[in-house]
Structure 1
Amino acid sequence: MKSHLTITMFFFLFTLSIISSFSSSYPSYKDHCSSIIQPSPTKDTTIITHTLFLFPIRGYFTGGENIIHDHNSFNRYSSFFFPRIKMHETINPDLFKVESTVSFRTNPNTVYYHVRNFTYGDKPNYKSQRHFKTSFVTFMLEGFWSKSSGKICMVGTGIGYSKTGDSLDLEAVFKLNNVFNSSNITSLISGSLESLSSERGDEKNQYFETISVMMFPKANYSYSLDSKEAENDFPFEKKGLSLNRFSSSFCSFPLSRAIRRLQLEYTHECNSSENCTPMTTDQLPYMMSLKVTECSQENKHRLKVMMVFSNKSDYWVEKGFNPKTMLIGEGWWDEKRNSLCVVACHCIGITKSSLNEARIGDCSVRLSLRFPSVWSIKNTNNIVGQIWSKKSTNDPNYFKMITFRNFENDRVGYRATKYEYSQLERVKKSCPAHNKILKNKGRTRFPDGYSNDMRFDMSVRDRESHRRIAFGFSNPLSVGDQVYDIDQNNNLPVSDSSFTAESPRPMVIILNNGSVNSFNISYKITMFSNSSFEDRNSMFNLSSYRVKISAEGIYDARTGTLCMIGCRDLNSIAGTEITDYVDCEILLKFHFPSLDENNGSYIQGSIESTRKKSDPLYFQSLEVSSSTIYSETAIKAVWRMDMEIIMVLISTTLSSVFVGLQLYHVKKLPNVLPLISTFMMSILTFGHMIPLVLNFEALLAQNPNNKNFVFGYVGWLEVNEITVRIIIMIAFLLQFRLLQLTWLSRKTSESEANLWIAERKATYVTFPLYAAGLLISLLSKLRNDGFQEYSSWENMKSYGGLVLDSFLVPQVILNLVSNMNENVLSRSFYFGTTFVRLLPHGYDLYRARNYARLVNGSYFYANPNADFYSTSWDIVIPLGGILFAIIIYLQQRFGAQCVLPPRFRGPKVYEKVPVATEVEM
């Protein structure tokens, strides 16, 4: 939208700059137009408004190649319009003086490409804007309009540009025919813009080739083709949904968008365009677009449409104007048939060099469009219809009937009210029901057939090569004969007037053993190829980049198994689709994980062809997997995240309190400060600093528009994140102050040398222990978790958490080396900090039993990437932390070496030196 607005503003400013540069002198009207319309004096300077020119009039042109240079030409026809028109009355009531700005430009700058490249549009760049002026020209014209003859003749000047970008002064005469107050389907305004310079124009006055123009008038449009005779041309088909059932029309969104992308299908006899299409093209068109140009809500919902055909499988079938691929028609909604009826006509009399003789004729094409009220495995589209010819089979312009349907991903707002099954007997033979009673019945739960949990995305792999060849998505269409309302994100079926909430659900199957947990169900599955791997037996061998499968079968909610027969659409060699050309020899099996699964859950399945390998429609079996998050799991996860935020607040607050108690302890006993391990203080300080740095970096890098968290964005989490950061900042400042005091006390101590020697010896022991621990823990983690998912950085972060869990190790070793016999650490500090560090492991044990393992972004407390979390680690680490805390307690009570055997105890190597003054806090 922004790119279109930018181009529109650029176009408007460019037009104004050209208008302002026009010369005040015009070419002589009498010399070039008096033979067509005699001029007449104006009554006064009053400007009048005429209904014919209420809005800018748009049309199409060809020619003028030497002043309009199309760099991305799709065809030879481009658009022109009147952005500004003024009219004055004259003394002759039949004549009006007209002043107008007429602009010509080539095709729009936004071009849509084939979806296989996953490029939906190219935004206008600097290069396209640089060439904009060479593909655009505007003329300032004035002249007269004769209301009775419908002719307009104007003369004026313009400024254009050569291919090299040089400015050209242009003079022209503009002539139009059939400009009347009223119009109908046959009305077509045509004319030409001719150069008044000689073909040998100089540098200032440049000659240009004649520009031929054509446009469809909108003034006082009168519908004329919806006659009684025309109504008889439309047979009574299977009745569809009523248009009055919905608060929508063909002129409103989203229906107007949906009918602009209709996929064409041909009979088996159509291998070429001969007698198979109303267009004179070499290839069979692939898509058709119905563009509503006029709309009336009165009477029969009348509308005027343009039927534009395209032989390119583009997502958007609009790029320029080509009369050879277009029909003009009128349509009306027939309430008896509940269908849209359209009578379409050809544009004839058009040559390669001129549009002057263009006219509307040969209105022998008919189109019928309806919204099916009943779906089946071979028809699951919101919109279907036919195009046919009234001509006899001997006529050269006759063509065979074409059917069409709406494009796959269009959400129309119209859905059938019923689904009819036809493959259930085949499903029962392919997947026989398990009649024995399950041992875990009543204990294991699986998704209900009505829930949104039945939708899932898919990752598709080739069973033989195990290569990921496609991705896709699966949406249920119906449970029983009632249709799901997927567009409204509702987990209840769309029902007709006879089905109410109090009515019994007719889609439940009662089996012989009395079970009521099996459902008839249908699906719509779409898969997109994401691999260049091509094989003759690949599912994509006849379907290019996309495969669409409609499937129906039985879902057993006792076991979570889904078995279906599917039909895939097939493309012909020409790239167009054939009516009823589908492959229904496909077996699909899926197994849903239990709702009570807490270790992560994956939907597993397979897609197999039941044909023989020699059959050209056979394809290799596929494995399907999907990481699913059930609705119940998501709700529990949101509650878990709320609880984890609270636990983070509590834990961080407790850390601040325990560090504050240690500061109070050293204030009372300042002589113990030199005995505190600076290595331990550094570990704890970095432990508080790193979350602050990472959170600040994430705050700077975050995109406010990227709130695509799987559970939805929970706004209040941001408030709590700010609170957590503030508390972490407080804990960091307190811990940093404690580290600073410890370091300064070493500088002022009389036993500084002995203390640093002891610290150095302790470090020599501690570093190898941590290195060995890193190696052992990484090997253990890789053995338990496998060689996937975890990067080196994630493993380092996990080990960093383990180092923090064992923060007391440096103090224990320093006590042994220095043979300390003082209360260096307060009990509240080392027992409390140990409790804070070990609490996440206890919580992880609880979480593993009550919550499913989800994506890492959902963890705010006990993040698996920030520490070692598993059943074994959650037991070993707390036991180790408690052991170190007990050792510190024993060392401070009975001497540092009391934990060693008597024969390893040595003499004291450090004597306490009293300090006369307290260290200032």
Structure 2
Amino acid sequence: MAPPSPKNPNLYSYHLCVLLLVSTTTLSAAISTSYSTLCPSSLTPAQDIQTDHDDILSLTRSFQISTGYFSGGDGNLFSADDDDLYNSYRSFSLFPHGASRTSDKAIVHLTATLTITGPRRLAYTSRGHRHNYTVPVSISFILDGYYSPVSFQLCMVGSGTEQSADGSLKHYPDVALRLRVPSPPSLADPFVTGTLKGSDDFGTIHLLAYAEGDDYKYRSESSKHAACRTPRQTAIRGSFQALGGNGSAWCAHLKEQLVTSYRLEHSGATGPLLGRLRESRKMDVNQMQCTEDGAVRAYVVFSNHTAGSERHGFYYYRQRRFLVDEEAVVAEGRWDFVRGVLCLKACRVARSVSAPSALASVREDECGIGMSFWFPAVWTMRDRSVVAGMLWNSTQETTPSGNTAGVITASSIEMTDHDQIILDVAGNHRSSNLSDVKYSYNDTMLEEAKNHYHLKFKKEIKIKGSHSFPGKGNYTYRDFEFRFFGEGMGGNGQAYPVTIGSVMVVGDRLAADDSFSHRHAELENGLLKVSYDIQYSAPREEPRITNGSYMLTPEEQERVSAEGVYDPEKGILCMVGCREHNGSTECQILVTVKFSSLHAGGHEHGRGVISSLRDNKTDPLFFEKIDIRLYGMYSHQVSEAISRMDLESVLLVASATLSCVFAVLQILHTKRNPEAAAATSVTMLAILTLGYLTPLVLNFEAMFRSRRSRYFGYSMAGPLEIKEVMMRVPILVAFVLQLRLLQLAWSGRRRPADQTPPPPPPVVSERIVLQICLPLYLLGAVLAATVHVIKVRAAAEHPLVVRVGGEPATIWEDLVSYAGLILDGFLLPQVILNASLAGAGSAGARAISPWFYIGCTMNRAMPHVYDVVRGRIFEQSISPSDLYASPRGDLFGVAWDVVIPCGAALLAALLFLQQRRRGAASLPSRRKASGGYELVSNI
């Protein structure tokens, strides 16, 4: 069971806004009493003087901190450790919203909002067991204080608030923020450090951040043009290709690409500087700032974490937190627009191991680290990094250019994270234009892949008929993408082409359809060269059972870079790949895939095998073969599915519109026949009214969801589609009309007690309808819930089964589907009411218009007819995409598609016979009243 969701952030924002308004009016009064006791005497409050607008903006930018790190604090305030699973990290931000000069030139007055966010361990009880989970919690403080550019000291006081678990606001009064803010920051002094103190139960929080202001003081020009090394014979992309030109946006593009994670490879790096990084396997360029003239500064950290250990969930935010590891450097330098290389000089950061954020300083004697970054223009199977880099000891004698001895090489590791949307700190989608990058195939790998292909598949006969595979005729690069799950291993993965032939199809895929279709004929002996990036994961052991619940074990992540050949005539892919395993490189991996035909139906996309080419099973790099089953949709299948959704949208709107027409005809029928209102079943109209209300309530989110996003997981939420909203308008109108019918039926029965004739029998008969229908509906709901429980228990017995068609329905969704069955039999209450009235000897009138009950019956039966046609004509899709005849709103299947229309038609036929008999029975009475009876009386 998933933990409960955090509190509504909108509610929290509302409370925060109220607090800001209240705190702003009381802050000036509070500061006079608490500032003198909490801040040093050297920062004496002074009177504000008029400050021009540009100066105010400069001051606020100097003190702004968007991402920082904090440690300490009371144990009840935040959890001791960060939680990667729930993206709960310790961070803080400081945003000034007011700054001014004072009468004392050495004092600056500042007001700001400080927000600290950290993990907090919460608990909930489910099925008698207590479960712990972690959520990020934020506390905001409204502060007012003064800053001295002489002592670099900033002291601010104020109060904070947070939303507690019960929804109320918890206050933290008399909080003091003391920061050391260098003015201006420099390579030797780039950090903002300080503390946040409150009451005894608040504790002391230590703060650390990398200065972000524009007033950074770079060193002399000679230091900016330090010697910059790159490997010999390395092809480097130019500034225009890599950064989109040399305009004012180059800085943003540079930060977008370089602020990422890198894999480190050591080649005998020694000495007191690089020797400290010998155990580091990963590097993160965590912060970066640059100016229009090309000056760049950065904060870089090193760790032993494996690549991708921080990433969880579908979205991944780079630079989402300020990293604090044991080893870190600060660097400054310049981007070389001519060579397309970033050259930096770095200094080691010294910190206290016990309290990393309590102290951070830069040692002048440890500033001999040279760093360079560039964008490779040629990719290979072993090196597919968007950004490459190099670290060396700049204090040693310079070796010949291109010599990589004694250096550390770096390569970005996030190029092929296709399964996650990479977002920058502002939430923008990140991608790379790699259309100009060339790919160099490894001839040895290609020959080995060809040999395995000829050995395994050369004798396979091509299937006759209209069977075509990706690579023939009209196709796109997306037809080569596939997802898979392992049979027996319980894991899953995905594979994405890097190149097809000579065309690069990664990055932002600017080299896609047009250029790709013109080069697809680059075949050698009927085979097409391809390269792939394959990622898969599998549980390390069987799931454990704890407290009666299945507990999934950690998964082992694997990534394989592969090259090989593809036969477009047979749909066979054969590749040899490499992977990093336990610090070593394994290049004896064979990947074979047999794609399904482009016109094949069903969910299966093909089959394949991932196996080791090593014969010795005792070899530590040997692994058992993994049989995989592919699933996914070809591009034309996606187009057909979207076209089908468009058709279903039209059918849905047409059905709702016809419901409006039938409801209007019934209203007119009721007004022409006043006695019909009292004979209409209120229960039937209530069921129909709720039937139109349900999609308006449950499917409200669907109005804002793009159709294409159902098929492409990496598609970002786009603008609101008006058609999705307009689809609900006829349903809303039908709901209002049903309310009108319900009101007419209810009013028709509310006659005065002394009226002659007395109140009609329908009032009593409606109770009989409820006595019959309510137990029947409740019994059906119990049966539906029982069937749901049986399905859940059956699925729990096989926790590693991969569900291709999406997650199973919840009990609420199954009950909603059962409610659709009640709607299919909406005429049942009216049939029971008519039978009750006939038994009571009341003839009455024809209560229901034939247009209404026949038309509504057809509306309920048509989705089942369409479901039969859809199953025979359209191919099943991976994602649930049914708008009309959706299984989430009714019961569908071979049996239901026969039983429900027949049952609805039977009820309509019974109602027709009942109303015909009632009309015939009332005919003699009307004849008597019209004159025949009066003539006999006169005689």
Q: TM-score, normalised by structure 1?
A: 0.63
Q: 2-side partners of 1:582 and 1:877: how far apart? A: 61
Residue in structure 1 matched with residue 533 of structure 2 by the alignment: 524
Residue in structure 1 matched with residue 239 of structure 2 by the alignment: 243
Query: What code does the residue aligned with 1:487 have?
Result: D
Query: What code does the residue aligned with 1:863 have?
Result: S
- Checking the alignment, whether the CA contact within 8 Å between 1:348 and 1:360 is kept in structure 2 is no
Match of 2:574 among 563, 574, 592: 563
Q: Deviations over 1:639-670 (max 9, x none)?
A: 33343343334334444545665676677788
Per mean C-alpha deviation after superposition, the further-off stretch among 317-326 and 280-289 is 317-326
- Checking the alignment, whether the CA contact within 8 Å between 1:79 and 1:320 is kept in structure 2 is no
Query: What code does the residue aligned with 1:236 have?
Result: R
- Checking the alignment, whether the CA contact within 8 Å between 1:84 and 1:100 is kept in structure 2 is no
Q: SS of 2:692's equivalent?
A: helix
Displacement of 1:702: 8.1
Answer yes or no: is 1:428 the counterpart of 2:450. Answer: yes
Match of 2:508 among 477, 487, 490: 487
Residue in structure 2 matched with residue 145 of structure 1 by the alignment: none
Alignment size in residue pairs:
781
Residue in structure 2 matched with residue 644 of structure 1 by the alignment: 648
Per mean C-alpha deviation after superposition, the further-off stretch among 414-423 and 243-252 is 243-252
Residue in structure 2 matched with residue 263 of structure 1 by the alignment: 262
Q: SS of 2:508's equivalent?
A: helix
Residue in structure 2 matched with residue 413 of structure 1 by the alignment: 432
Answer yes or no: is 1:340 the counterpart of 2:303. Answer: no
Residue in structure 2 matched with residue 585 of structure 1 by the alignment: 588
Q: SS of 1:56's equivalent?
A: helix
Q: 2-side partners of 1:635 and 1:603: how far apart? A: 20
- Checking the alignment, whether the CA contact within 8 Å between 1:460 and 1:622 is kept in structure 2 is no
Displacement of 1:482: 1.9
- Checking the alignment, whether the CA contact within 8 Å between 1:80 and 1:103 is kept in structure 2 is no
Q: 2-side partners of 1:189 and 1:339: how far apart? A: 24
Residue in structure 1 matched with residue 698 of structure 2 by the alignment: 698
Q: 1-side partners of 2:828 and 2:63: how far apart? A: 84
Q: SS of 2:728's equivalent?
A: helix
Q: Deviations over 1:532-583 (max 9, x none)?
A: 7599xxxxxxx985433222333444554443333222343xxxxxxxx322
Q: SS of 1:224's equivalent?
A: helix
The change in CA–CA distance for 1:799 and 1:568 in structure 2 (over 3 A counts) is same
Displacement of 1:294: 5.3
Q: Deviations over 1:124-157 (max 9, x none)?
A: 623xx58x99xxx976558xxxxxxxxx689999
Q: 2-side partners of 1:606 and 1:534: how far apart? A: 24
Q: Deviations over 1:100-127 (max 9, x none)?
A: 359999x9945799xxxxx99985623x
Match of 1:554 among 559, 565, 568: 565
The RMSD of aligned alpha carbons is 6.9
Q: Deviations over 1:410-444 (max 9, x none)?
A: 65635362222222333333344466664453255
- Checking the alignment, whether the CA contact within 8 Å between 2:432 and 2:507 is kept in structure 1 is no
Give me the identity figure in percent: 20
Displacement of 1:613: 3.2
Displacement of 1:295: 4.1
Structure 1 alignment gaps of length 5 or more? 30-44, 89-96, 114-118, 143-151, 194-207, 494-499, 513-517, 536-542, 573-580, 897-907
Query: What code does the residue aligned with 1:721 have?
Result: R
Q: 2-side partners of 1:659 and 1:53: how far apart? A: 66
Match of 1:441 among 441, 465, 482: 465
Residue in structure 2 matched with residue 309 of structure 1 by the alignment: 302
- Checking the alignment, whether the CA contact within 8 Å between 2:225 and 2:333 is kept in structure 1 is no
Residue in structure 2 matched with residue 720 of structure 1 by the alignment: 727
- Checking the alignment, whether the CA contact within 8 Å between 1:812 and 1:888 is kept in structure 2 is yes
Displacement of 1:479: 0.9
Residue in structure 2 matched with residue 222 of structure 1 by the alignment: 220
Displacement of 1:242: 1.4
- What is the 5 A alignment of 1:676-691? 681=681, 684-691=684-691
Query: What code does the residue aligned with 2:736 have?
Result: M
Q: Deviations over 1:146-174 (max 9, x none)?
A: xxxxxx6899999899xxx99899999x9
Residue in structure 2 matched with residue 284 of structure 1 by the alignment: 280
Q: Deviations over 1:704-729 (max 9, x none)?
A: 69999526653222123122221243
Structure 2 alignment gaps of length 5 or more? 1-8, 43-49, 83-91, 121-131, 160-171, 195-203, 311-318, 423-429, 545-553, 712-717, 796-802, 931-939
- Checking the alignment, whether the CA contact within 8 Å between 1:287 and 1:317 is kept in structure 2 is no
- Checking the alignment, whether the CA contact within 8 Å between 1:812 and 1:884 is kept in structure 2 is yes
- What is the 5 A alignment of 1:380-395? 380-389=384-393
Residue in structure 2 matched with residue 505 of structure 1 by the alignment: 519
Q: 1-side partners of 2:208 and 2:520: how far apart? A: 64
Q: 2-side partners of 1:664 and 1:334: how far apart? A: 78
Residue in structure 2 matched with residue 201 of structure 1 by the alignment: none
Per mean C-alpha deviation after superposition, the further-off stretch among 834-843 and 303-312 is 303-312
- Checking the alignment, whether the CA contact within 8 Å between 1:766 and 1:809 is kept in structure 2 is no
Query: What code does the residue aligned with 1:520 have?
Result: K
Displacement of 1:473: 4.1
Residue in structure 2 matched with residue 835 of structure 1 by the alignment: 858
Residue in structure 1 matched with residue 479 of structure 2 by the alignment: 454
Q: 2-side partners of 1:814 and 1:225: how far apart? A: 94
Residue in structure 1 matched with residue 86 of structure 2 by the alignment: none
Q: TM-score, normalised by structure 2?
A: 0.62
Displacement of 1:525: 3.0
Residue in structure 1 matched with residue 618 of structure 2 by the alignment: 614
Q: SS of 1:487's equivalent?
A: coil
Q: SS of 2:710's equivalent?
A: coil
Q: 2-side partners of 1:327 and 1:859: how far apart? A: 54
Displacement of 1:616: 1.5
- Checking the alignment, whether the CA contact within 8 Å between 1:608 and 1:620 is kept in structure 2 is yes
- Checking the alignment, whether the CA contact within 8 Å between 1:280 and 1:325 is kept in structure 2 is no
Q: 2-side partners of 1:404 and 1:527: how far apart? A: 24
Q: 1-side partners of 2:20 and 2:105: how far apart? A: 26
Q: Deviations over 1:200-246 (max 9, x none)?
A: xxxxxxxx9xx999999845753214669x36x66633222112334
The change in CA–CA distance for 1:774 and 1:657 in structure 2 (over 3 A counts) is farther
Q: SS of 1:425's equivalent?
A: helix
Q: 2-side partners of 1:661 and 1:158: how far apart? A: 72
Displacement of 1:691: 2.6
- Checking the alignment, whether the CA contact within 8 Å between 1:141 and 1:157 is kept in structure 2 is no
The change in CA–CA distance for 1:846 and 1:782 in structure 2 (over 3 A counts) is farther
Query: What code does the residue aligned with 1:125 have?
Result: S
Q: 2-side partners of 1:720 and 1:27: how far apart? A: 65
Answer yes or no: is 1:477 the counterpart of 2:498. Answer: yes
Q: SS of 2:727's equivalent?
A: helix
